[in-house]
Every structure is written in C-alpha cells, then in structure tokens.
Amino acid sequence: MKVQVYSGKHMWIWEVDQTFAGNLSLLIHTGQQLGIDGFLVKAHDGSTIWPQFAKVIGPLKQAGFHVAAWGYVYGTDVLGELKAAQTVIDLGADWYVLDAEQSFNDRMTAAEQLCSGLRTQFPEFIIGYTTFAFPSDHPQFPYTTFSHYCDVCLPQIYWGDFGLAPALAVQQSYSELRNFGTPIVPVGQAYGAVTSEQIGQFALAVREQGGIGISFWDMQSANSKQLQAIGQIRLGRESYVKDSPADIHPNDWFYGAVNDLLARGIVTAYQDGLFKPDEPITRAQAADWLNRLRIYIEKQTGRVT
C-alpha cells in the first residue's frame, strides 16, 4: 500500500479555479485521457486551509484517482501547520506532502518539530516532502530531518529552469539524494518553454534510475503539447506493487529495473518467488534471459532478429 499511492504518474494542482477554468469534469476527463494515476492538490498554505481541497477530493477519488493533499509550510507556526495538515488528511487524503523550501534553511528545530509532530499524529500514513532537487546547492536545508520522518522525497527537478538537459538533472538529483535513504519520486517541469521531447527524456531518465513514480508541476500551467507528452509516459504502477518479489524493496536502487524487467518477462525470479539479487547467474540463465530479450524485441518491433 505504501508504494501504490505514489507510484505511477501524477499531476500537481495549485489553484483549482485556474485549472481548466475550474471545470472539474474537464479536469477528470483530461486526467483519464492522459492515464494519470493521481493528483496532488494544494490543501493549505501555512496554517490557512484552502477550501478547494474539500471540494475536489470526493469527485477525484470517485473517478479512480489517488489524491494527495499538499501544503506549503514555513515552520513559523508549527502548531498551526500541524493542525492544518491534520484537517486536510482527515478529509480523506490518500497521502500528504509537505512543500518545504527556503523558509526552512538553517531551521533544524522547526523541521524536527513539524516532522516529528506530524509523524506522531499519523504513524502509518504516507507522508512525503518536496523541495530543491540538488542538496549540494542548498546545504542549509534540513534534508536529513525531512528524510528521517517522511516516506518519500519528491525533488523538484525543473531542468528547464536549471538550464540542464533532463537526463543530467535527473542523474544529479538521484546521485545526491540517494544518500538520505528515502525513495525518490521526482517532480518534472510542465510549464514554460520545455518541449515534449524533453518531457519524454525526463521520464526515461527517471525510469533508468529505477523510478517507480513521477509527477509534473503543474496542471494549470501545462500547454497541450506538454500534456500530450505526459500522456505518452508509462511508468511503474501497472505491475511493480503487486508482483514485486519479497526480497526486492522500494529503497533498493535496482527496484524499478528489476520489476520492469520481470513485468516484461525478460528476467525471471526463482521458483520460490524470490529474485535473490546478490546471487550470481549461470551461463544457462544468461542465455535464457538474452533469449527472452530477443523475443520481447521481436514482439515490440515486429521484426525477427
């Protein structure tokens, strides 16, 4: 269950009334057409509740989407922010995300109070945090504290704003964030001048890093070509959760790769259902897997190799 809510493909919503002019039916239809698994909807800013979350969570969940509540937090009113988080979670959110940015620089105590308080209130609930993509650029941000209490990190990998190629931005972010030991579910850029090709490159780079989930900021800013590119993305949720071998865990760096190959029938688990990632393979197993890869390629391309 922990993996299911943030695996797959998600879209962020900042202002509901500015997203398709507040037409919720069109939002739902578009999400279904794009194959979106869930939405992350802004539910509070600091200690102030945004009424939009209560209005949309029911219809979105009834339409089959996972719905996360997210709140921008400042750490200046920890008790107020904890109360706001509790309120929106109690509305039926499937999971919750803290949007913590500049205001937490050099504020370890506030981060500890907020995160520990939230975890105490909701010991089993899925809690994530979203923040800067590159810890090396933000040494004053308390990544360690947020990672300790949260189930998942959603780094904002806005490659267009960074002036980087999507693959390079993804690679750097994963490389720096893996040290904190929290599953990574990147937030991509779907605004401004980013191209459809770049969105595809971003998704491919996430998949190559073993990513099982992806999301994009944001629904109200994305143009039609960007949304169309997002609709082409296939990532993670179809098979990873229910079929993953018991000895392959979401924190493993190879989790996504193993489950992807298993789902495609290119590699196999042992008869006891385990993958045994540290076991060497025999020449016979190598031949079998290469042959499975050949068969898969032939099916996908329609060409006999």
- The whole-number pLDDT of residue 1 equals 37
For range 21-46, the mean pLDDT: 96
- Predicted pLDDT of residue 251: 66
- Range 8-232: architecture per CATH: Alpha-Beta Barrel (3.20)
Residue 215 neighbours by CB under 8 Å, 6+ apart: 9, 10, 11, 12, 40, 154, 185, 186, 187, 188
Cα separation values, 245 from 68, 71, 268, 274, 277, Å: 27, 34, 10, 5, 10
pLDDT higher than 50, residue 237: no
Q: Which residues contact 34 (CB under 8 A, 6 or more apart)?
A: 9, 11, 227, 230, 231
How does pLDDT run across 204-214, given as a tens digit for each residue?
A: 999 888 888 99
pLDDT of the residue at 182: 92
What local confidence, expressed as pLDDT, does residue 267 receive?
87
- Spans of all domains in the chain: 8-232, 255-301
Torsion angle, CA of 242/246/252/256, rounded to 10 degrees?
-30
Tell me how far CA of residue 119 lies from CA of 79, 126, 293, in angstroms.
13, 9, 44
Indicate whether 287 pLDDT > 50: yes
* Burial track 148-162 (b if 16+ CB lie within 10 A, e otherwise): bbbbbbbbbbbbbeb
- Residue 305: which pLDDT band, with cuts at 50, 70 and 90? low
Note the pLDDT of residue 254.
81
Cα separation of 16 and 41, whole Å?
8
List, for residues 140-187, the tens digit of each pLDDT value.
999 999 999 999 999 999 999 999 999 999 999 999 999 999 999 999
CA distance 181 to 157: 18
Cα atoms found within 13 Å of the Cα of residue 85, Cβ hemisphere only: 32
Is the pLDDT score of 241 beyond 50?
no
Instruction: Say yes or no to pLDDT of 243 above 90.
Output: no
Q: Tell me: the pLDDT tens digits for 88-121?
A: 999 999 999 999 999 999 999 999 999 999 999 9
Looking at the predicted structure, is the pLDDT value of residue 252 above 90? Answer: no
Average pLDDT over residues 191-209: 93
